[in-house]
Chains A and B, each alone.
Chain A
Amino acid sequence: MNTTANNATTTAAATATTTTSTTTRAARSSLAASVKFKAFALSFSTFGPVIYCFCQFFNWPLFTFHPVTNRLVWGYEGPRPGEGPNMLWYGWTATTLLVAVVVGVVAMMLPARMTKKMPLALMWLFPILAIPYIVYSLMPWWTH
């Protein structure tokens, strides 16, 4: 009786091990193992902070939101009399995501040897370098 139970446990454990290793293999062979996704993800994240700074510097919001009237307008629109403030941050973020997706898709179409040349260090250097620019762009708040 005990032997049967032990055998059943061993079989169950073996099945569990097989399932686990299959799952692990499946996870590796999916998105994370894709060369095209690598090109997309690394390009998106490397150039994303640069694109965001450009969007903010040149004021390129995809849309402007007016929170008092809940009005959404394509592109930039300044605050209108009697309608409260305008919000541009949503639009800048949306433009950044859109352009970064385009950059990522273009990177996916390039030969792997070209995208491989992109230094990985840029992915953490660009957001660090973006900080002094962001602080500078907020100067009116610091010097008010």
Chain B
Amino acid sequence: MDIISVGAFWTIWLLVHLLFSVGLLGALTHQAMAVALPVRRAAGGIVTRFRAVPAPGYATAVCVLWVLTFIVGSYIYTKYRIFVRIPLEQSGYFKTQGFFDFKEHVASLGLVLLPGYWYLWKNAQNEEYDTARKMVTVVLAVMCWFLFIVGHVLNNTRGFGS
């Protein structure tokens, strides 16, 4: 006896992927803003307060969320390959599909950066790592935004429910 339909099952996993990615995007954006544009004085407007977060505290959460988002994304990718990509190709959405392939490569590049990123943040007191820590965090944040936007556009083009 099926409790939920096959379509609902994969849609739930897609939503789990979305929720993890939203958490990751928020954490990485906070951290990247805090490290790229550090706040000199407390208080101020919403943008200043957005930047004034204790950035080192996000490192482990970012790694865990990246890995979780990656695992769930990899799981739903098997169905995407058959039920989304093939119709996309048949409909002539070649550039859209190109961006999905771009997304999968960027996700893997981000994954391999995590151990170094984590190490640099866990040694945030070491000034020798300041530039590398800032740049790696900004690179990961840009990657995360790219992954999120491409995923969003692809879901609009042809989500699991379509």
Residues of A within 8 A of B (CB): 27, 31-33, 37-38, 40-42, 44-46, 48-49, 51-52, 56, 65, 67-68, 84-85, 87, 89-90, 92-93, 96-97, 100, 104, 120-121, 123-124, 127-128, 130-131, 134-135, 138, 141-142, 144
Contact = CB atoms under 8 A, between A and B. Distances in A.
B13 to A, nearest CB: 15
A42 B112 CA distance: 10
* Most chain A CB neighbours (cut-off 10 Å) among B81, B118, B128, B138: B81
A130 B139 CA distance: 12
Interface in B74-124: 74, 77-79, 81-82, 85-86, 94-95, 97-98, 101-102, 104-106, 108-119, 122-123
A85 B113 contact: no
A97 B109 CA distance: 11
A109 to B, nearest CB: 17
Interface of B: 74, 77-79, 81-82, 85-86, 94-95, 97-98, 101-102, 104-106, 108-119, 122-123, 128-129, 131-132, 135-136, 138-139, 143
A120 B98 contact: no
A41 B113 contact: no
Contact of B81 (A48, A51, A85, A124): A85
B20 to A, nearest CB: 18
B111 to A, nearest CB: 7
Contact of B112 (A38, A100, A128, A142): A100
A79 B118 CA distance: 38
Given A32-B123, A87-B77, 16 more contacts: A31-B122, A40-B115, A42-B116, A45-B113, A45-B114, A45-B115, A52-B105, A65-B78, A89-B77, A89-B108, A92-B108, A120-B128, A121-B135, A127-B109, A127-B143, A128-B139
A144 B78 CA distance: 24
A84 B98 CA distance: 19
B114 A56 contact: no
A117 to B, nearest CB: 13
21 contacts: A31-B122, A37-B119, A41-B118, A45-B112, A48-B112, A48-B113, A52-B105, A52-B108, A67-B78, A84-B82, A85-B86, A89-B77, A93-B108, A93-B111, A104-B115, A121-B131, A131-B106, A135-B102, A138-B102, A141-B95, A144-B94
